[in-house]
């Protein structure tokens, strides 16, 4: 009888141990899977940031150049007179025929924010990414005002032509300064994300 009790207790212990071990291994496997998925998610964010840096490296010098051109053109009486006669002459300051081409992306970050795997990100990573994307959003707050000026019916009216040229220059100057700040945020994020991945 003692032998049967010992045998049953041993079997119960083995069953409990097997269940606990199975649960532990299952949890470890799930954790490893989540960490791999979180790494993929972070990789997509890093790729998005790299693409955004490349875009800014292209657009910032262009925007600075337009600001300089508009600054001198707003003071040029002949240009202002030509602008009053034909508003399309303004676009001669835009060598790319546009103020902004491709926009900065935030898709990977938006997906990450709503994904449960974000809990696997390091606090410093989340903090710097939050700051970067907040700055990215604010970098182009002046853009709707700029577009509004460009589309206004009195853009090149005699009474507003010079003022509008200065306003366009000022809005674009504000955008380009925010872009420069954003580049510094990107660099900071790049350094922290590299450090965290090591």
Question: What's residue 198's pLDDT?
Answer: 55
The answer to whether 178 and 138 have CB atoms below 8 angstroms apart is yes
Helix axes 161-197, 143-151, angle to 10 degrees: 150
Q: Is residue 26 part of a domain?
A: no
User: How would you write the pLDDT of the chain (198 residues) with one tens digit per residue?
Assistant: 678 888 888 888 888 888 888 888 888 888 888 888 888 888 899 899 999 999 999 899 999 999 999 999 999 999 999 999 998 888 888 877 777 777 889 999 988 888 887 777 888 888 889 999 999 988 888 888 888 998 999 999 999 999 999 999 999 999 999 999 999 888 888 888 776 655
Q: Is residue 88 part of a domain?
A: yes
Q: Is residue 4 part of a domain?
A: no
Question: What's residue 25's pLDDT?
Answer: 86
Q: Is residue 142 part of a domain?
A: yes
Q: Is residue 175 part of a domain?
A: yes
Q: Is residue 24 part of a domain?
A: no
Q: How far is residue 26's CA from residue 65's CA, in Å, rounded to a whole number?
A: 59
Question: What's residue 168's pLDDT?
Answer: 93
Question: What's residue 196's pLDDT?
Answer: 60
For residue 87, the enclosing domain spans 35-197
pTM (predicted TM-score): 0.76
Q: Is residue 2 part of a domain?
A: no
Q: What are phi and psi of 119, to 5 degrees?
A: -65, -15
Q: How many CA atoms lie within 13 Å of 117's alpha carbon, on the beta-carbon side?
A: 18
Number of separate domains in the chain: 1
Q: Is residue 19 part of a domain?
A: no
């Amino acid at each position: 009888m003692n032998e049967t009790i010992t045998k049953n207790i041993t079997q119960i212990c083995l069953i409990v141990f097997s269940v606990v071990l199975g649960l532990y291994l299952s949890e470890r496997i799930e954790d490893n899977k989540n960490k791999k998925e979180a790494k993929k998610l972070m990789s997509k964010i890093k790729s998005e940031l790299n693409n955004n840096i490349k875009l800014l490296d292209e657009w910032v010098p262009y925007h600075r150049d337009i600001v300089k051109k508009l600054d001198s053109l707003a003071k040029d009486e002949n240009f202002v007179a030509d602008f009053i006669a034909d508003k399309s002459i303004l676009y001669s300051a835009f060598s790319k025929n546009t103020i902004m081409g491709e926009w900065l992306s935030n898709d990977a970050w938006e997906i990450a924010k709503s994904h449960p795997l974000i809990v696997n990100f390091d606090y410093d990573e989340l903090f710097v990414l939050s700051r970067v994307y907040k700055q990215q959003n604010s970098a182009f707050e002046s853009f709707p005002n700029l577009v509004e000026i460009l589309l206004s019916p009195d853009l090149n009216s005699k009474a507003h032509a010079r003022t509008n040229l200065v306003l366009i220059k000022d809005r674009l100057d504000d955008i380009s300064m925010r872009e420069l700040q954003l580049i510094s945020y990107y660099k900071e994020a790049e350094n922290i994300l590299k450090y965290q991945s090591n």
